[in-house]
Structure 1
Amino acid sequence: MAKKSLIQREKKRQKLEQKYHLIRRSSKKKIKSKVSPLSLSEKTKMQEKLQSLPRNSAPTRLHRRCFLTGRPRANYRDFGLSGHILREMVYACLLPGATRSSW
């Protein structure tokens, strides 16, 4: 089980990312737009606006965690579970369609 403080920090990052998503996307789109070439000063203003946003609002700072334990590593995207918990659930026949490997 992950520390609760780390899980809460991740939830806070998710809220910040959702809050600033539109602002971040629109400012990036204006910087990269080739239709209306911005002057250098306008472009730097847009970059400063982008940099003034909180760091934790960037989507690259988000990290997937296990739905049950909060483990940050070995997560399966399809299930939202870590490999350890996924294996236990397959052995307990709690995941339909998943089979145990045996050789």
Structure 2
Amino acid sequence: MPLSNIIRDKLTRLCVAENEITREALRLIARDKSGKYTLNDRIRAQLELQKLPKYSRPTAVHNRCVESGKTRGHVTDFKVSRIVFRERALAGEIPGVKKSCW
């Protein structure tokens, strides 16, 4: 089981949550074209944005299975991979989900 991937994903999500408001405020200042901020303010905001931790970017977060750590075939509603989802559904561990037949 890739435990290190799961731990890294949790730490990344925590870092993104901690720096979200600061990152968004600096990003809006740096990209403002309305003339509300001077060029020096915009440059300063861009430099501060670059000083933030690398893993505080929202794009660094990947959907990952909480049980196996897989990133592909992810069922978003249940936060597990398709294989784990199928195993749990067949075992009856997921309420309201059953194998369909028609």
Q: What TM-score does the superposition give when structure 1 sets the normalisation length?
A: 0.83
Which consecutive residues of structure 2, in runs of 5 or more, have no partner in the other structure?
A: none
Deviation at residue 15 of structure 1 after TM alignment: 2.1
Say what the alpha-carbon RMSD is for the aligned residues: 1.9
Mapping of 1:35-50 within 5 angstroms? Answer: 37-50=36-49
Deviation at residue 32 of structure 1 after TM alignment: 4.0
Q: Distance in 2 between matches of 1:97 and 1:36?
A: 54
CA-to-aligned-CA distance 1:50-97 (integer Å, 9 cap, x gap): 111111111110112112222222111111111001111111122222
- Amino acid corresponding to residue 41 of structure 2 in structure 1: E
Structure 1 counterpart of 2:56: 57
Which consecutive residues of structure 1, in runs of 5 or more, have no partner in the other structure?
A: none
Structure 2 counterpart of 1:84: 83
Deviation at residue 29 of structure 1 after TM alignment: 2.6
Aligned residue pairs, count: 102
Percent of aligned pairs sharing the same letter: 30
CA-to-aligned-CA distance 1:8-57 (integer Å, 9 cap, x gap): 22222122112211210211232344665222222111111111111111
Q: What TM-score does the superposition give when structure 2 sets the normalisation length?
A: 0.83
SS of the residue 2:62 aligns to: coil
